[in-house]
Amino acid sequence: MRYVGLLDVSETGAFGVSFPGCPSCTAMGKDENEALANAVEAFTEWLGELAPGERPSLRSVSELRGDPEVEDSLRDGAVFVPAPFVDEGGRLVCANISIDAGLLESIDETAKFLGLTRSAFVAQAAREKIGRSA
């Protein structure tokens, strides 16, 4: 699931991301990449504090363009950015995947070193990769 945020540059040169319809959900960074990474984390935390029925509805870019506040931000130089959100409901499922034996061995060694199970390590790596794909 991907929500749409607005990336903007402040007068001080810092980059910020806000989410239309999500009051007080913002993130900053020294560059676009840091701001986007911080935005994914901030947005995930912000949504995680809400009950599923309280979450804002997904709005397309077309719908957001009709929002007067969004239009003002776009006129001031903001651009749309996607923010991935992984809705983890706590329900575990078994997944059968194929992976190179050497890679699996490295995953197991690293997971053991970090005190994680293989599943926890792979899930954590997937969350990080999804967060960086914004």
- Check if CATH label 3.30.160.250 holds for domain 1-87: yes
Other beta carbons within 10 angstroms of residue 132's beta carbon come to 12
- Write the pLDDT tens digit of every residue in 88-128: 767 788 889 999 999 999 999 999 998 999 998 998 888 87
Burial status of residue 66 (CB atoms within 10 A of its CB: 0-12, 13-18, 19 or more)? exposed
pLDDT at 132 over 70: no
**Domain extent listing, the chain:** 1-87, 88-134
The confidence band for 70, taking pLDDT boundaries of 50, 70 and 90, is: very high
What's the average model confidence in pLDDT over 62-72? 91
